[in-house]
Amino acid sequence: MEALALDVRLDTSADPVGVLVRDQRGGLAFAYSEAYVSQPGAISLSLSLPLTPEPFEEAVTRPFFDNLLQERDGALSDIMAREAIARDDIAGLLFHLGKDCAGALSVLPVGSPPTKVPGDYQKDYQPIEGDRLDAIVESLHKRRRLPAGTDDPSPLAGMQSKIALTVLPDGSLAEPVPSSGAPTTHILKVPDQDHIHDGSLEYEAMRLSQEIGFSTADVSLLPIAGVNVLLVTRFDRARDKDGRIVRIHQEDFAQALGLPSALKYERRGAPGRRFDVDAVRRILDATSDPAVERELFIQATLFDLFVGNVDAHAKNFALLHEPGGGISTSPRYDILPTRLDDTLTDELAYKIGDATTLDEIRKEDIDLFLKTVGIPSAAARQRLAKRYATEVANKLAGHLDRVGKGGQKPLADLIASNMRTLLGALDIEVPDPAKDRDAYIGRAGGWLLS
């Protein structure tokens, strides 16, 4: 194997911020450039790669850059087959795919010009005609290759069918002009044939998250080609002083912890190297306002338990790296009531105390959860457990009738059932709107009955 060096570029920096190196044995190392480290306002690429002129070895470098590759197999498989590259040759894959990494980063052959630049609505985007948009959605819905001439300009993490697009000021959908390097502004998520209701369910869960006060990515539900697709506004985009679209650097919690995407669930890791509440606490402690972020994480966890989102893994939480080094958690995204699908596990992405499912949670588990996340006082934990659970439950309960009457009765029943389970374990009174709703029963005939 030949040695290989690649420039690592950040959309906000004129010059490469560092270099990724593969040695002749396939080992990886990364180093920031000295000029970048000394630059005023420089930001680190990751909590796992703090700003320092010292190089990072394989154990730290590999997981971060592996996370830049998409989890879906399409593009990876094509490159691996065409170029005879093994899946563990991260640098070799990024040599071919690194210009299209998700987010503000790109990884390019040394000396290459930038491939990611700000986007101008007037010249950098082309509208997607209706017939072609239908063909794109149908391809994603049936998990087929995208129509000829369609390249996802920002390959996205996760297993759902999706494509990155741009919404123009007039509301029409568009894509970047080929080779323009312009950012997309939205993600179009298309449910496959076996999960036809996922778009509308995620829309409702995201809407609930926003309505009860969480900072949440904006969503809308669009009927395209006979499918309800979810249009999600990207939280890692902004407008500069000239009105151009620019990328904001972000990383998910797997990258921040130095974990490969394969370890995004607690159950797949080992103590000290896994996504668990102790690891989350370390991340929150590194943010600009740990106390606020801790409170938000506790409330978000309770919200997920109530709405049946047990898929809140390490790649469904993210950090925003702000100019000057500030770090904050991102708006919420990827909230899906996965407990409505009996083909999926009900095991939590991270344990609550010693509990691995909602039904196992007891008062002691919530207490241990709060202690682990960083609340040392037993009296404070007892007070906060009741306060947070009551507040989130009451806010959600106020929307149950709307959700149930709006065509999502199974979701409303599930939320009410989850409230009765969790609040009962905490000896907290269940809000009236949830007391008498039907019990959630499960799937039958491909859809949900109660």
pLDDT, residue 152, reads 55
Q: Strands, DSSP E only, in 100-233?
A: 105-109, 125-127, 161-167, 173-176, 186-190, 219-224, 227-233
Quick one: which H or E segment has residue 237? strand 237-239
* HEC profile of 314-381: HHHCEEEECCCCCEEECCECCCCCHHHCCCCCCCCCCCECCECCHHHCCHHHHHHHHHHHCCCCHHHH
pLDDT, residue 445, reads 33
How many helices (H) and strands (E) would you count in the chain?
14, 17
CA-wise closest residue to 326 among 275, 295, 292: 292
Instruction: Name the burial class of residue 386, with classes exposed (0-12), middle (13-18) and buried (19+) by CB atoms within 10 angstroms of its CB.
Output: middle
pLDDT, residue 392, reads 98
Q: What are the contacts of 35-44 at 24+ separation with CB within 8 A?
A: 39/13, 41/323, 41/324, 41/325, 42/13, 42/17, 42/325, 43/10, 43/249, 43/321, 43/322, 43/323, 43/324, 43/325, 44/321, 44/325
**Edge-to-edge strand ranges of the sheet holding 250-252:** 250-252, 318-321, 327-329
Any idea which residue has 């374990």 for tokens?
425
CA-wise closest residue to 231 among 263, 202, 260, 195: 202
Q: Pairing between strand 227-233 and 186-190?
A: antiparallel
How far apart CA 184 and CA 168 sit, in angstroms, is 10
Phi, psi (deg, nearest 5) at residue 443: -90, 150
pLDDT, residue 444, reads 39
Answer whether 358's CB lies under 8 Å from 426's CB: no
Write down the domain spans for the chain: 4-109, 125-233, 251-449
CATH fit for domain 125-233, picks 3.30.200, 3.30.70, 3.40.50, 3.30.160: 3.30.200
How far apart CA 174 and CA 136 sit, in angstroms, is 12
pLDDT, residue 70, reads 75
Answer whether 115's CB lies under 8 Å from 109's CB: no
Any idea which residue has 């009900």 for tokens?
346
Answer whether 90's CB lies under 8 Å from 62's CB: yes
Q: Whole-angstrom distance between the N-terminal and C-terminal Cα of the chain?
A: 59
311: annotated active-site residue: yes
Residue from 66, 89, 311, 413 carrying the catalytic annotation = 311
Q: Which amino acid is at 216?
A: T
Phi, psi (deg, nearest 5) at residue 430: -80, 135
Half-sphere CA count of 187, side-chain side, radius 13 A: 24
pLDDT, residue 443, reads 46
Distance of CA 375 to the CA centre of its chain: 26
pLDDT, residue 101, reads 83
How far apart CA 380 and CA 383 sit, in angstroms, is 5
CA-wise closest residue to 109 among 3, 1, 4: 4
Q: One digit per residue, pLDDT tens: the chain, 450 residues?
A: 889 999 999 987 889 999 999 999 999 999 999 999 999 889 999 999 999 999 999 999 999 999 998 765 566 778 888 888 988 999 999 999 898 887 899 999 999 999 999 999 999 999 999 899 999 999 999 988 777 666 654 445 445 688 999 999 999 999 999 889 999 999 999 999 988 999 999 999 999 999 999 999 999 999 999 999 999 999 999 999 999 999 999 999 999 999 998 999 999 999 999 999 999 999 999 999 999 999 999 999 999 999 999 999 999 999 999 887 899 999 999 999 999 998 899 999 999 999 999 999 999 999 999 999 999 999 999 999 999 999 999 999 999 999 999 999 999 999 999 999 999 999 999 999 999 898 887 643 333 433
DSSP type of residue 428: -
The number of beta carbons lying within 10 Å of the beta carbon of residue 262 is 12
> Is CATH 1.10.1070 the classification given to domain 251-449?
yes
